[in-house]
Amino acid sequence: MDPVHGSIQLDKYLFKIIDRPEFQRLRKIKQFGGVYYVYPGGVHTRFEHSIGVCYIAGQLVDALNKHRPPDEENLSKWFTQEEKMCVQIAALCHDIGHGPFSHVYDFAVKEYYKELKTKPNGLKEMKEFITSKEDEYGDNKNVDSYVEKKELPKGKLLLYLDIRP
C-alpha cells in the first residue's frame, strides 16, 4: 500500500529491477535526508518515492495516449508499450545512485569522487540479475534490453538513466 497513491499495481517486469539489491538499498535512504530530525513526519524513503514516481510515470503515459489527437498523422508522437516501459524503468531507477542522507551526502564526498578513477558497472550487474530472473518472472518483456536504452526513437522524449556506466 503506497502512502500517497493507495493501492497501486505495477507490471511484473518492473519487479526484475525492484528485487535488485541496488534498488532494495533505497529502503534505507530517507527521501529528505536528515530533515526528519526536524520534521518527524518526513520519514519516507527513496524506495517508496521511486515506486511512486514509476507509478505516476505510467499513469502519465496512459493519459497522454488516451487524450492523443485522433488523426493518424500524429500517432508517431505518442507512446508505444515499449516506450511506456522505458519511461517507467527510467522513473523507477532515477534515484538508484543516492547515498545516505540524500543530497547532504553528495556535498560530503564531493572531493572523494574527483579521485575515483573507475566506477563499478551497476548497469552490467543489473542486466545479469534481470536475465537470471527470467524463469521467475516470465520473459514476456525483455527488460534487460530496455534498462540499457539511452533514448527513445527519433521524435520521442529522451530518457537518460541514472544507472548508466
Contact present, 162 and 93 (Cβ < 8 Å): yes
The more confidently predicted of residues 5 and 92 is 92
The answer to whether 108 and 69 have CB atoms below 8 angstroms apart is no
* pLDDT band (50, 70, 90) for residue 156: very low
Question: For a pLDDT cut of 70, what percent of the chain falls above it?
Answer: 55
Domain chopping of the chain, boundaries = 12-147
* pLDDT > 50? residue 165: no
Q: Does the pLDDT value for residue 112 go beyond 70?
A: no
Mean per-residue pLDDT, 133-141:
55
Mean pLDDT of 87-99: 86
Q: What is the mean pLDDT of residues 16-26?
A: 91
| Residue bearing the bigger pLDDT, 160 or 115 | 115
Question: Is the dihedral angle over the CA atoms 14, 50, 121, 85 positive or is it negative?
Answer: positive
What pLDDT does residue 100 have? 72
CB 37 within 8 A of CB 17: no
Asked whether residue 162 carries a pLDDT value surpassing 50, the answer given is no
On the question of pLDDT at 3 being above 70, the answer is yes
**12-147 falls under which CATH superfamily?**
Hypothetical protein af1432 (1.10.3210.10)
Q: What is the pLDDT of residue 164?
A: 35
- Segment 59-78, tens digit of pLDDT: 999 988 887 766 656 555 67
**Amino acid, single-letter form, for residue 25:** R
pLDDT tens sequence across 29-54: 888 877 878 888 878 899 999 999 99
Q: Residue 18's CB: how many other CB atoms inside 10 A?
A: 15
Could you tell me the sign of the dihedral formed by the alpha carbons of 153, 83, 51, 128, in that order?
Answer: negative
